[in-house]
Amino acid sequence: MTKYLFIILVISQFSVYGQPFIKEKVINYEDVIEELKSTKNIKSLENKYDYTALLLLDSTQIKLIEKTGYQYINDFRNFSLGLALSKQTLGFVTDKINIKEIFLDKNTIQRILDCTKSYDSPDLKMTEINYPVYIKENTAIFETSGPTWSDTYFARLENGILQINWLGGIIE
């Protein structure tokens, strides 16, 4: 009985603090834009998504995203410089035909983690992809992290090659 009470308490804590129990792994850019356009109270969506990631995929809807009141719009501008200037680009051949498949496949995720590990970090075995991954067509923005750091990447799937560009990172 105590065990069940504990489980109910834990589940209720997730809903009390507004944190989803199961987090979406992949969020589609077009779906978010459609949700923003169709909502009556756009401010209510201020913290629902990582709009910085969405803007890195496509900044044409920046005016719409600004209406949410999202406070980190300038992060997009800082990271966007890395899209063209990144000297830390890597890639590999894959049989996947769309980028969503890549971020839902455990083997490909492990391959990405092996390629993107920061060799300056002593906690390499604890590296993981932070979800959700934001996608538009065959491009994606994703983040890897360890216990004290995170890195943001832009990925593009084209002609069976996944290209990954490091955009920046944070050490906590």
SS3 149: strand
Please tell me the total count of domains within the chain: 1
The verdict on residue 32 lying in a domain is no
pLDDT of residue 12: 37
pLDDT of residue 128: 84
The verdict on residue 93 lying in a domain is yes
Q: Are 160 and 151 contacting, i.e. CB atoms less than 8 angstroms apart?
A: no
The verdict on residue 124 lying in a domain is yes
Task: Say what the pTM is.
Answer: 0.79
The rounded average pLDDT for each run of 10 residues, N- to C-terminus, in the chain (172 residues) is 39 38 80 96 93 92 93 79 67 92 92 73 70 95 85 92 86 73
- Domain boundaries, position 125: 87-171
Residue listed under structure tokens 């998504």:
49
Kindly report the number of other CB atoms within 10 A of residue 76's CB atom: 19
